[in-house]
């Protein structure tokens, strides 16, 4: 959309100064000639020489300026534009060969350009095989990730996303701004997950944590990538459905078992009673014998069926998808990380062993047990021990004091574990592991322990270090960026996360009622424009769109009918921007458009303006509007995208990437230096900026 004029560029002021000096010199010469002519009263040739001499100064200034403009200054501007285009794109066309007094540089410039292109061609050829191999590996990896149903996230040591698969994108589809470079903290802000990420072992041993996400609970398995720069792989599973199953049909079936066993016992008792009735008399003795046989057979069959059902239930709990092999030392370490600093420490003793369990549920269960024992046991740390049994592993918590009474254990089994989804009881988690809890004294008479039998795993020895994955694909370069909490001003330009945006409005008078009808944006991460990471929304302005504005951006009242108002769109856009730096062309206009007087949504991050940056780099060149710069740097608008918010935002992002090597060539490497350069051009806004 057109922007109002804001002053003349330097070249036009210089031309004006040249013409002014020439005019002043000519006028002064004329006055001086009139004065001499009135004094001397010359005639003929002498008078002509007098007038020519007085006009010679102004004429010389004008002619020398015209000669320098034609033979030097204009060729220099053309050469500057060509060099700028070559720096941004060595394959760009050559529209301005050297001319005037710089014509002799033509062959040298052609040789430099051809040598540059030749070197780039040789370099591209040298990397062709590697690029094809990498493309094939990446294509195979992308295919594998697309068909994998388990959501995967790979983050760097600063917890920024390096890679995610389609399942993860589907899981977090409702999260605004989800994409490469997004912080895991913003995706899953649970404190338990952040603590687990800090404490991950470097050799790649897994850690498990239960994380809330909207109305779901996710089971996250975390692994540090061995031999990497702190990259971490997260695999996510929605456990809400599994817990619903645990607390639904399975729990109901488990509660029916005691009733069925009671019925079986009653049937056996009835059989005995019928047998005793034989002593009452010999009448119907044969019938009673047949009934006794039938009852015994049915009772025995019912008892066997119930025993078989119990074994099936136990197998379902032990072999369920939520029970996985755990190394006891890892379990104790995870428990120590989970417990608050004020809680008692659990000191592992004895030999470690493998067991089978649901790590998140066991950690919550043990944490509740430690809190319970804190009120019962004598002061001092607790001890944790793993004892091997017959097809089971006994997990013991030991304390100084007396064993827990049965009524205390019964009350504890009924407690709700609110940290787990659906808040199951302690007894539900024990039943999930086919376990029970009892308390017994130690032989020394001073200690007692609480014992939990858990399923054993036919596996011996400590977990071996995980081998590095093949192929290694964490090569996005995001991991090389500085920490997000580093001083932003010291960040290098290529490491900035940038959101380029543009707005279309009902008009140019934003302070007099004009407002936004469309916001478009795209993201740059690691000096790379992300193709699919975009923001594009129409906005209901709450007023008719003038035909003059529709003629520019093409948006009509029908296009925005039913669109959300600006008060709804701005928070979404703010979430999309996140911690990124904003980028726009003639940013003052667009910032005014997205920061209404209400101030409910603020954009307080640094803002870069490609108009000012181009003006600071090329103060002597004319034309710093978006069309002129796109032409200068050989950038193109796809058909129908000019004066659309997203189309202009994309070209603005490409323009930034074209300016980046030129800024670096001038020693502008950090955001602080760039903002200082940008500030120096605030008073030189281009009159034709748009």
Tell me: do 294 and 383 sit in the same domain. no
Report the candidate in 332, 327, 400, 384 with the shortest Cα–Cα distance to residue 357: 327
Among residues 411, 412, 432, 434, which one has the least CA distance to residue 421? Answer: 432
Question: Which of these ranges, 428-442, 447-461, 644-658, has the smallest mean pLDDT?
Answer: 447-461
Q: What percent of the chain has pLDDT over 70?
A: 76
Q: Assign 609 a pLDDT band (cuts: 50, 70, 90).
A: very high
Which tens digits make up the pLDDT trace of 532-558? 788 999 999 999 999 989 988 889 999
Q: What is the mean pLDDT of the chain?
A: 77
- 235 and 317 both lie in a single domain: yes
Q: What is the pLDDT of residue 574?
A: 92
Beta carbons of 276 and 210 less than 8 angstroms apart: no
Cα–Cα distance, 428 to 264 (Å, whole number): 25
253, pLDDT greater than 60: no
- Predicted confidence at residue 249, as pLDDT, reads 47
| String of DSSP letters for 170-235 | HHTTTSTT-STT-BHHHH---HHHHHHHHT--TT---EEEEEEETTEEEEEEEEE-TTSSS-EEEE
The reported pLDDT for the residue numbered 646 is 93
- Residue 689 phi, psi (nearest 5): -65, 140
My answer on whether 252 and 292 are in the same domain is yes
For residue 283, the domain's CATH number is: 3.30.450.20
Rounded Cα–Cα distance for residues 382 and 379 (Å): 9
pLDDT tens digits along 63-122: 777 777 777 677 777 777 777 777 777 666 666 677 777 666 666 666 667 777 777 777
Distance CA 408, CA 458 (A): 34
Specify the range with the lowest mean pLDDT, choosing from 86-90, 195-199, 245-249. Answer: 245-249
pLDDT at 277: 62
By the 10 Å C-beta count (0-12 exposed, 13-18 middle, 19+ buried), 371 is classed as middle
- Residue 585 maps to which CATH number? 3.30.420.10
Is 468 inside any structural domain? no
pLDDT at position 167 is 83
State how far the Cα of 331 lies from the Cα of 342, in Å rounded to an integer.
20
- Residues 192, 255, single domain; the answer is yes
- The residues, ordered by sequence, that sit 6+ positions from 273 with a Cβ below 8 Å of its Cβ are none
What is the tally of structural domains in the chain?
4
Q: Name residues whose C-beta falls within 8 Å of residue 582's C-beta, 6 or more positions apart in sequence.
A: 498, 499, 501, 591, 603, 605, 606, 607, 608
Model confidence pLDDT, tens digit, residues 303-351: 776 766 666 665 555 444 457 778 888 888 888 888 887 778 888 877 7
The predicted structure's pLDDT at residue 175? 79
| Same domain as 369, residue 486 | no
Are residues 317 and 330 located together in one domain of the fold?
Answer: no
pLDDT of residue 472: 30
At 518, is the pLDDT very low, low, confident or very high (cuts 50, 70, 90)? very high
Query: What average pLDDT does the segment 256-269 reach?
Result: 65
Residue 198 scores a pLDDT above 80: yes
Range of the domain at 27: 11-66
Residue with tokens 């999309």: 576
Residue 158's pLDDT band (cuts 50, 70, 90)? confident
pLDDT of residue 310: 66
Task: Please tell me the pTM assigned to this model.
Answer: 0.48
d(CA 67, CA 50): 25
Q: Binning pLDDT at 50, 70 and 90, where does residue 499 land?
A: very high
Express as a percent the part of the chain with pLDDT over 90: 14
Highest mean pLDDT among 356-365, 444-453, 495-504: 495-504
Structure tokens, 424: 């199951």
Residues 152 and 252 in one domain: yes
> Do 162 and 225 belong together in one domain?
yes
pLDDT single digits (tens) 380-436: 788 888 888 777 888 888 888 888 888 888 888 888 888 887 788 888 888 888 788
Task: Reply yes or no on whether the pLDDT at 690 is more than 60.
Answer: no
Residues 333 and 347 in one domain: yes
- In a shared domain, residues 331 and 317: no
- Reference 183, options 501, 572, 477, 484; nearest CA is 484
* Type and span of the H or E element at 316: helix 285-318
Whole-number Å distance between alpha carbons of 442 and 422: 36
For residue 216 the two structure tokens come to 């779901």
In a domain, 204, yes or no: yes
Task: Please determine, for residue 564, whether its predicted confidence score (pLDDT) is greater than 60.
Answer: yes
Question: Predicted confidence band at 522 (pLDDT cuts at 50, 70, 90)?
Answer: very high
Contacts of 483 (CB under 8 A, 6+ apart): 158
> pLDDT confidence of 481, banded at 50, 70, 90?
low
Residue 684 has pLDDT above 60, yes or no: no
Per the model's pLDDT, the better-predicted residue between 379 and 590 turns out to be 590
CA–CA distance from 153 to each of 188, 196, 230, 293, 474 (Å)? 11, 15, 14, 64, 11
Report, as an integer, the average pLDDT of 454-473.
Answer: 53
Whether residue 572 is predicted with pLDDT greater than 90 in this model: the reply is yes
Same domain, residue pair 28 and 170: no
């Amino acid at each position: 959309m057109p922007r109002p004029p804001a002053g003349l560029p330097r070249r036009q002021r210089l031309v004006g100064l040249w013409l002014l000096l020439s005019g002043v010199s000519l006028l002064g010469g004329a006055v001086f000639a009139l004065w001499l002519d009135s004094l001397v009263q010359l005639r003929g040739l002498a008078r002509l020489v007098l007038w020519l001499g007085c006009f010679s100064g102004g004429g010389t200034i004008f002619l020398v300026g015209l000669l320098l403009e034609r033979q030097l200054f204009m060729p220099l501007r053309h050469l500057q534009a060509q060099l700028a285009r070559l720096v941004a794109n060595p394959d760009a066309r050559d529209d301005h060969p050297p001319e005037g007094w710089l014509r002799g540089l033509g062959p040298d410039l052609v040789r430099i350009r051809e040598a540059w292109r030749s070197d780039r061609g040789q370099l591209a050829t040298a990397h062709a095989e590697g690029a094809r191999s990498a493309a094939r590996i990446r294509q195979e990896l992308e295919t594998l990730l697309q068909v994998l149903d388990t959501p995967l996230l790979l983050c760097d040591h600063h917890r920024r996303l390096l890679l995610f698969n389609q399942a993860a994108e589907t899981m977090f589809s409702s999260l605004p701004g989800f994409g490469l470079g997004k912080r895991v903290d913003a995706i899953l802000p649970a404190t338990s997950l952040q603590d687990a990420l800090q404490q991950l072992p470097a050799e790649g041993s897994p850690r498990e944590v239960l994380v809330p996400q909207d109305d779901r609970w996710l089971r996250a398995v975390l692994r540090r990538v061995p031999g990497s720069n702190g990259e971490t792989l997260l695999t996510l599973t929605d456990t809400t459905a599994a817990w619903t199953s645990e607390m639904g049909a399975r729990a109901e079936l488990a509660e029916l078992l005691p009733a069925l066993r009671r019925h079986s016992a009653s049937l056996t008792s009835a059989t005995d009673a019928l047998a005793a009735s034989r002593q009452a008399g010999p009448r119907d003795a044969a019938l009673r014998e047949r009934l006794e046989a039938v009852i015994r057979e049915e009772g025995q069959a019912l008892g066997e069926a119930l025993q078989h059902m119990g074994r099936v239930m136990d197998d379902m709990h032990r072999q369920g998808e939520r029970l996985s092999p755990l190394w006891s030392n890892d379990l104790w370490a995870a428990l120590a990380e989970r417990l608050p600093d004020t809680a008692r420490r659990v000191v592992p003793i004895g030999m470690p062993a493998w067991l089978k369990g649901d790590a998140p549920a066991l950690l919550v269960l043990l944490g509740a047990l430690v809190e319970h024992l804190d009120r019962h046991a004598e002061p001092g740390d607790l001890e944790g021990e793993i004892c091997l049994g017959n097809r089971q592993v006994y997990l013991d918590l030991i304390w100084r004091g007396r064993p827990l009474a049965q009524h205390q254990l019964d009350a504890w089994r009924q407690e709700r574990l609110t940290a787990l989804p659906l808040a199951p009881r302690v007894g539900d988690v024990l039943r999930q592991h086919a376990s029970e809890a009892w308390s017994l004294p130690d032989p020394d008479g001073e200690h007692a322990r609480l014992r939990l039998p858990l399923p054993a795993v036919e596996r011996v020895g400590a977990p071996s270090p995980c081998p590095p994955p093949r192929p290694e694909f964490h090569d996005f370069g995001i991991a090389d960026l500085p920490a997000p909490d580093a001083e932003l001003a010291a960040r290098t330009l290529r490491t900035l996360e940038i959101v380029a945006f543009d707005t279309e409005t009902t008009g140019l008078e934003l302070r007099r009622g004009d407002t936004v009808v469309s916001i478009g944006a795209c993201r740059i991460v690691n000096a790379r424009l992300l193709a699919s990471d975009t923001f594009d929304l129409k906005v209901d302005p709450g007023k008719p769109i003038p035909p003059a504005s529709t003629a520019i951006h093409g948006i009509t009242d029908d296009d925005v009918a039913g669109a959300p108002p600006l008060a709804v769109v701005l928070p979404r856009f703010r979430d999309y921007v996140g911690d990124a730096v904003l980028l726009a062309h003639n940013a003052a206009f667009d910032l005014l458009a997205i920061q209404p007087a209400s101030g409910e949504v603020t954009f307080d991050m640094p803002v870069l303006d490609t108009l000012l940056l181009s003006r600071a780099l090329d103060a002597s060149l004319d034309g710093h509007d978006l069309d002129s710069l796109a032409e200068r740097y050989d950038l193109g608008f796809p058909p129908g995208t000019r004066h659309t918010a997203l189309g202009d935002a994309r070209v603005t992002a490409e323009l930034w990437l074209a300016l980046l090597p030129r800024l670096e060539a001038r020693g502008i490497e950090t955001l602080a230096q760039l903002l200082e350069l940008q500030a120096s051009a605030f008073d030189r806004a281009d009159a034709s900026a748009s």
